[in-house]
Amino acid sequence: MSALATRIAALHKAHGRWSLLEIGFWLLPIAAIWLFPTRHLTLSEIGILALFALSLDLILGFAGIVSLGHTAFFGLGAYVAGIATIHGLTDPTLGLLLGALAAALLGFITSFLVLRGSDLTRLMVTLGVASVLAEIANQASWLTGGADGLQGVSAGPVLGIFDFDLYGTTAYLYVLGVLFVLFVIARRIVTSPFGLSLRAIHGNALRARAIGIPVDRRLVAIYTLSAAYAGVAGALLTQTTDFVSLDVLDFHRSADVLLVLVIGGTGYLYGGLIGAVFFKAVQDVLSNLTPQYWHFWIGLILVLLVLVGRERLTEGPRGLVLWLMRRIGGAQEKPVEEAPR
Amino acid sequence: MVTLLFDGIAYGMLLFVLASGLSVTLGLMRFVNLAHGAFAMAGGYVMVVLMHRYGVPFLATLPLAFLATALLGAVLERTLYARLYGRSQLDQVLFSIGIVFMAIASADFVMGSEQQMVTVPPWLQGRIEIFGGSIGRYRAFVVGICIVIVVALQAILQGTRFGSRLRAAVDDPRVARGLGIKVPMIFAVTFATGSGLAGLGGALGGEILGLDPTFPLKFMIYFLIVVTVGGTSSLTGPFLAALILGIADVMGKYYLPALGSFIIYTLMIIALILRPQGLFARAR
């Protein structure tokens, strides 16, 4: 390996190291167990939304694919987990796996459709896939319960030991555990050379192809992975709420998750998590103030966000986090341009 | 059969009038405006309020609905939309979803969430027997108006100085500006006209499509289908796409009600896979 390659490898490795700030970040949801003992149900909702946004970040933040129908995978995971539970497969972990597999399969198949078109076609295809699924779920009421929703879902104890309780404590710990494990995997993936190649594609697909990155295969892989993540999030929702309704496939979910991710900032994994906390907090306050019209304020936030400049707003938290990471995690980062040629 | 076909044609024509503004903003100006349906809804509500609260005759409400939404479109274009031309697709998507959410909540707040009843005047009620089928008079009226609009639009785009300026501005805004064409002005007028047409379509379609605050989301995908499947190089593409969509939707819901809108969405995906530039697009 040349000197430059060694340097880049070392830099890359240093970049992938866990900083103190990140460890501190993960202590917060653990502290929340005791800080908000009465709100574990809300906390697990936040965790699920965070995982959903994380899955969108994988394709939007790292591969640059704008999706208007990401909830297709979320909803599929939710329904698969629910139907599995009704037919006797009550083990939650198994439910998660099934949800992830089903969503990954759908993601794999539809990724070829998404790859084919350019921007506008892409939007339409993602939107179309989600609409098709919603229509199937609506019409196939013998399987999904149709507009009444899937009744009688009851997940078994987590890992065969911990029963879901009324206060959502098990649910929260379960969601948090799943979120953490999947986050670590996602983090490992995006800091790997594979993740770097995704960033290259995001930056300029044409040039990425020219330096020998198999663009299409990479995009199929990340799209499938993202779909699986969304499927897990959906399955978690089913298991923690014991209910699936058509709402999981509704367009507003795709829009909400975009907003969540954009609030937190794309392309550094934590955006989805931070955005989820913020979104749920805002939703909580607004829906208490105006239960019927709270989407008005969500819309206003979206419009302002875009007008003020998404970058300017999210560069704030993101820049702060990166800066803190550098300060606390030791100043390992030096620009690559300084390398001797 | 004749009845169904005619219903489909009326539905398709209506969709075209509703989506024609979008085919210019999305198709030509490349602005992803998911909020187009909000203007249509506004037009519908303008008509309902004028007719039922102020007793304005039905025919007079149509131009008023057009003018009111065109004005709304012009104001929004100048204040908000114009800042977003040329911004990233994600920004435009987020922005217009925001507008949709606000429009839905506002309509809910002002008008209530219930379905609005639209009563057309007596001379438009009832049916005519023709070609062995019966055709709703109102639908015949809608088809008539839509044909006039289609012909007028085509004439304006192809035959007038404004039309050629618009096409120049869209093809290359910089050169067009260099030639002394007031590009922002052209865009504003176009956007306002498109919004106005959506409003007119919303008013005309109140009786056929229904009108409630979720209108912009319910029909968003239909408008987008018309534009993306139709292609963007001329008005003929979206027009044919709207007709096919209308007929297929009406027929599908009549003969295969169990499948619902499934057929439409699947057809759209297939069409987009086979012809990403639209079914009727010429290669540019």
Q: Give B212-244 pLDDT, tens digit per residue.
A: 888 888 888 888 888 888 876 677 888 888 888
CATH number of A3-338: 1.10.3470
Chain B CA closest to residue A114: B273
What's the pLDDT at A341?
Answer: 35
CA distance B77 to B81: 4
pLDDT classification of A327: cutoffs 50, 70, 90: low
Cβ under 8 Å to A: B residues 79-98? 80, 83-84, 87, 89-91, 93-95, 97-98
| Secondary structure in 3-state letters for chain B | CHHHHHHHHHHHHHHHHHHHHHHHHHHHCCCCCCCHHHHHHHHHHHHHHHHHHHCCCHHHHHHHHHHHHHHHHHHHHHHCHHHHCCCCHHHHHHHHHHHHHHHHHHHHHHHCCCCCCCCCCHHHCCEEEECCEEEEHHHHHHHHHHHHHHHHHHHHHHHCHHHHHHHHHHHCHHHHHHCCCCHHHHHHHHHHHHHHHHHHHHHHHHHHHCCCCCHHHHHHHHHHHHHHHHCCCCCHHHHHHHHHHHHHHHHHHHHCHHHCCHHHHHHHHHHHHHCCCCCCCCCC
Q: Which residues of A touch B261 (CB under 8 A)?
A: 131, 135
Q: Give the model confidence (pLDDT) of A16-56 as tens digits.
A: 777 777 787 888 888 777 888 778 888 888 999 999 999 99
Return the closest-CA partner of residue B42 out of B192, B249, B152, B242.
B192
Residue B118 has pLDDT above 80, yes or no: no
* Beta-carbon contacts of residue A6 (< 8 Å; ≥ 6 apart): none
Distances (CA, A) of A138 to A80, A131, A241, B221: 15, 10, 20, 17
Does residue B276 belong to the interface with chain A, where contact is any CB pair within 8 Å?
Answer: yes
Which residue has better confidence, A162 or A87?
A87
pLDDT classification of B283: cutoffs 50, 70, 90: very low
Pair of tokens at residue B195? 């919004």
- What integer is the mean pLDDT of A182-190? 89
Chain A CA closest to residue B83: A307
What's the pLDDT at A74?
Answer: 93
pLDDT classification of B77: cutoffs 50, 70, 90: confident
Contact B269 A125 (CB under 8 A): yes
- Which stretches of chain A are DSSP H helices? 3-16, 20-35, 40-63, 71-86, 92-116, 119-139, 141-144, 169-190, 193-203, 205-210, 215-241, 251-264, 270-289, 294-308, 310-328
Which residue has better confidence, A180 or A311?
A180
Residue A338 has pLDDT above 50, yes or no: no
Is B12:B174 a contact under the CB 8 Å cutoff? no
Return the closest-CA partner of residue A266 out of A311, A214, A330, A327.
A311
What's the pLDDT at A172?
Answer: 87
pLDDT classification of A332: cutoffs 50, 70, 90: very low
- What integer is the mean pLDDT of B94-113? 87
Mean pLDDT rounded to a whole number for chain A: 81
For residue B34, report the phi and psi dihedrals to the nearest 5 degrees. -75, -10
CA-CA-CA-CA dihedral for A289, B211, A72, B34, to nearest 10? -90
What's the pLDDT at A1?
Answer: 53
- Tell me which of A15-29, A144-158, A188-202, A290-304 is least confident: A144-158
Return the closest-CA partner of residue B184 out of B173, B196, B172.
B173
Chain B CA closest to residue A259: B94
What's the pLDDT at A334?
Answer: 40
Tally of residues, chain B: 284
Contact A300 B269 (CB under 8 A): no
Which residue has better confidence, B41 or A314?
B41
- CA A268, A269, A275: angle at the middle one, nearest 5? 105
- Tell me which of A8-17, A269-278, B137-146, B260-269 is least confident: A8-17
Closest chain A C-alpha to B54 CA, distance in angstroms: 27
Most confident segment among A179-188, A281-290, A306-315:
A179-188
Chain A CA closest to residue B106: A296
State which amino acid sits at residue B150: V
Residue B189: other Cβ atoms inside 10 A: 18
What's the pLDDT at A226?
Answer: 93
What's the pLDDT at A328?
Answer: 59
Q: Which residues of A touch B102 (CB under 8 A)?
A: 296, 299-300, 303
Q: Give the model confidence (pLDDT) of B172-216 as tens digits.
A: 878 888 888 888 888 888 889 889 999 998 888 877 888 888 888
Mutation target vs A (from B101, B220, B273; most A CBs, 10 A cutoff):
B101
- What integer is the mean pLDDT of A224-237? 92
Residue A340 has pLDDT above 50, yes or no: no
Residue A138 has pLDDT above 80, yes or no: yes
Residue B169 has pLDDT above 50, yes or no: yes
Pair of tokens at residue B171? 């093809």
- What integer is the mean pLDDT of B86-113? 86
CA distance B266 to A124: 12
Which of A125, A292, A307 is facing B272, going by the closest CB pair? A125
Contact B272 A302 (CB under 8 A): no
Distances (CA, A) of A60 to A53, A54, A141, B249: 10, 10, 33, 33
What's the pLDDT at A333?
Answer: 43
What's the pLDDT at B47?
Answer: 87
Which residue has better confidence, A145 or A137?
A137
For chain B, give every domain's residue range.
2-215
What's the pLDDT at A336?
Answer: 39
What's the pLDDT at B71?
Answer: 92
Which residue has better confidence, A54 or B258?
A54
A246: which DSSP letter?
Answer: G
Pair of tokens at residue B4? 């169904």
A150: which DSSP letter?
Answer: B
**What percent of chain A is predicted at pLDDT more than 90?**
17
Return the closest-CA partner of residue A295 out of B200, B250, B102.
B102
Residue A103 has pLDDT above 90, yes or no: yes
Which residue has better confidence, B248 or B234?
B248
Residue B132 has pLDDT above 80, yes or no: no
- Tell me which of A216-220, A334-338, B116-120 is least confident: A334-338
- Tell me which of A103-107, A164-168, A178-182, B272-276 is least confident: A164-168
CA distance A164 to A40: 12
What's the pLDDT at B111?
Answer: 81
**What percent of chain B is predicted at pLDDT more than 70?**
95
Does residue B224 belong to the interface with chain A, where contact is any CB pair within 8 Å?
Answer: yes
Does residue B272 belong to the interface with chain A, where contact is any CB pair within 8 Å?
Answer: yes
Chain A CA closest to residue B276: A117
pTM of the predicted structure, to 2 decimals: 0.84
- What integer is the mean pLDDT of A176-194? 89
Residue A257's SS3 state is helix
Residue B170 has pLDDT above 60, yes or no: yes
CA distance A6 to A14: 12
CA distance B246 to B20: 15
- What integer is the mean pLDDT of B56-82? 87
